[in-house]
Amino acid sequence: MDYSKQVKEIVKYFKNSEKKVEDFKIGIEFEHYVIDKDTLKTISYYGKNGVAETLKELEKNGWKGVYEGEYILGLNKGNKIITLEPGSQLELSIDAQKDILNIEKEYIEFMEEIIPILNKKNQGLITTGYHPETKIDDIKLLPKKRYDFMFNYFKTKGSHAHNMMKGTAALQISLDFKDEEDYKKKFKVANGLSPVLYALFDNALYFEGDIWNKHGLRTYIWNNCDDDRSGIVDNALEDDFSYEKYAEYILNRPPIFIFKDKEVIPTGEKKVKELFNPNDYHEDELEHLLTMFFPDVRTKKYIEIRMMDSIPYPLNFSAVALLKGIFYNEKNLDKAYEYIKDITIEDIKKSKEDIIANGLEGKFKDKTVLETGQWLVKLGKEGLNPDEIKYILPLEKMINDNKNPYEITKEKLKDGKKKSLSWCLLNNIFEVRK
């Protein structure tokens, strides 16, 4: 394979993904667990009242089903796409929008459709960073070939790779870039702030059914997943980072499997550079390769920010507002860049360890994560349009109360696990909106 041509093709893909500032949009993916409302245990994909059955009920309502053989594994309707993660976590993706209000409308529309279906089965959607009750050994893997390959591949990797696959849920936000300089700045800021974003949106008090006595559970799990595809991208914080450097990051790592003639082919430890033919490929082949790596901040046709735990409404829209107010406001982006421009990957690793041990009191540079978070929220609020400021207010209140979602749940623990998590149950969303 011609390595230089491989690099050029991937760089061309990123170059072709640039957007005009006036066309900038925000993409979002919400992950949820489907649980029994009484026991908090996971609802299996399989069997009577299983997740597959719920998808088929939605299919009858006009959603278009996506199948692998006999199994329904996803749905799409209008601007919304439903997919399932390996442990049957239900992910809702909404097509990128310019305004937060439009994303919210799509999200509420989905809730109005699925919650009545789940209520009939005494089931609910819950948003936490890790499954609050069911252990991963008791969660059946989704019947999808790619997940079988991933599960087997991860057996030889980090101690918590399977926890990542079947036990975690996140909120992922995608942002556009106008050119390579804008990309470099946003990518560096997002990576530089990764410990803060992990800590602000830490929503995992429970691990394998018991109390997690540290903090930052998803941070810990990703630290012990697979060094080839998680953490900080090589050179992401260096001044010479570029499209080319991200391309090289992808090319020098194993993709686990590839698609060829609609077949899923496991590739073991072979690296992308041994598999990607720059002279004969379809764009969806390259897009697949880009999705097989899971760093804190990922590059596709946009910059995907992946540190936030799954969090309940309306706090999830506060995360959207925070990132929009910082990354889509040039002055704020510059301020954030100045703040993190000298930070190193070692600083990030050290800060992550500190937040796992100390939560919001963990150190980031010369301040606590809480102090940095309060500054970021202020910055984000200043960067929003007046009609979008309302979305950041739940986050502002939480941070000014010196809390994150982990602390809110912990504070409610005296009333029992079920009560402590009731604020994360989305079946309550219509009451919250009143």
* Residue in 90, 79, 77 with CA at minimum distance from that of residue 26: 79
Are residues 165 and 239 in contact, defined by beta-carbon separation less than 8 angstroms?
no
Cα–Cα distance measured from residue 355 to residue 164, given in angstroms and rounded to the nearest whole number:
19
Cα–Cα distance measured from residue 319 to residue 373, given in angstroms and rounded to the nearest whole number:
12
**Collapsed DSSP state (helix, strand, coil) of residue 95:** strand
* Residue in 423, 410, 41, 415 with CA at minimum distance from that of residue 208: 41
Write the DSSP symbol of residue 63: P
pLDDT at 74: 98
**Collapsed DSSP state (helix, strand, coil) of residue 119:** helix
Calculate the alpha carbon distances from 192 to 185, 325, 342 in Å. Answer: 10, 17, 9
pLDDT tens, residue by residue, 86-140: 999 999 999 999 999 999 999 999 999 999 999 999 999 999 999 999 999 999 9
Average pLDDT value for residue range 336-360: 97
Average pLDDT value for residue range 403-420: 97
Place of tokens 């390259």: 286
pLDDT tens, residue by residue, 39-66: 999 999 999 999 999 999 999 999 999 9
Query: Read out DSSP for 294-335?
Result: --SEEESSSEEEEEEEP--TTHHHHHHHHHHHHHTSHHHHHH
Question: Residue 41 — left, alpha, or beta (φ > 0 → left; ψ -120 to 50 → alpha)?
Answer: beta
Place of tokens 């929009």: 324
pLDDT at 434: 58
pLDDT of 285 > 70? The answer is: yes
Could you count the other beta carbons within 10 Å of the beta carbon of residue 332?
21
pLDDT at 1: 78
Are residues 60 and 49 in contact, defined by beta-carbon separation less than 8 angstroms?
no
231 token code pair: 């953490």
Instruction: Choose between 203 and 280: higher pLDDT.
Output: 203
Cα–Cα distance measured from residue 210 to residue 389, given in angstroms and rounded to the nearest whole number:
37
Are residues 133 and 313 in contact, defined by beta-carbon separation less than 8 angstroms?
no
Percent above pLDDT 70 for the chain: 100
Cα–Cα distance measured from residue 255 to residue 273, given in angstroms and rounded to the nearest whole number:
10
268 token code pair: 């073991």
Average pLDDT value for residue range 341-352: 96
Q: How confident is the model at residue 262 (pLDDT cuts 50, 70, 90)?
A: confident
Up-side HSE of residue 230: CA atoms within 13 Å toward CB?
20
Write the DSSP symbol of residue 384: S
pLDDT of 431 > 80? The answer is: no
Cα–Cα distance measured from residue 111 to residue 197, given in angstroms and rounded to the nearest whole number:
26
pTM over 0.95: yes
**One-letter identity of residue 410:** K
State the Rg of the chain over Cα.
21
| Contacts with 20 (C-beta within 8 Å, 6 or more apart), sequence order | 178
Average pLDDT value for residue range 367-393: 97
pLDDT at 192: 97
Cα–Cα distance measured from residue 308 to residue 218, given in angstroms and rounded to the nearest whole number:
9
pLDDT of 430 > 90? The answer is: no
* Domains by residue range for the chain, with CATH: 3-426 (3.30.590.20)
Which has the minimum average pLDDT: 145-154, 198-207, 327-336?
145-154
State phi, psi for 96 to the nearest 5 degrees.
-55, 140
Cα–Cα distance measured from residue 302 to residue 174, given in angstroms and rounded to the nearest whole number:
6
Average pLDDT value for residue range 266-276: 94
Calculate the alpha carbon distances from 401 to 66, 152, 348, 381, 424 in Å. Answer: 44, 44, 25, 17, 18
Calculate the alpha carbon distances from 37 to 85, 170, 391, 410 in Å. Answer: 21, 20, 28, 19
Could you count the other beta carbons within 10 Å of the beta carbon of residue 271?
15
Go through 302-323 and write b for each residue having 16 or more CB atoms within 10 A of its CB, e for each that does not.
bbbbbbbbbbbbbbbbbbbbbb
Cα–Cα distance measured from residue 215 to residue 241, given in angstroms and rounded to the nearest whole number:
31
Q: What does pLDDT average to over the chain?
A: 96
pLDDT tens, residue by residue, 203-221: 999 999 999 999 999 999 9
Cis peptide before 314, with omega less than 30 degrees from 0? yes
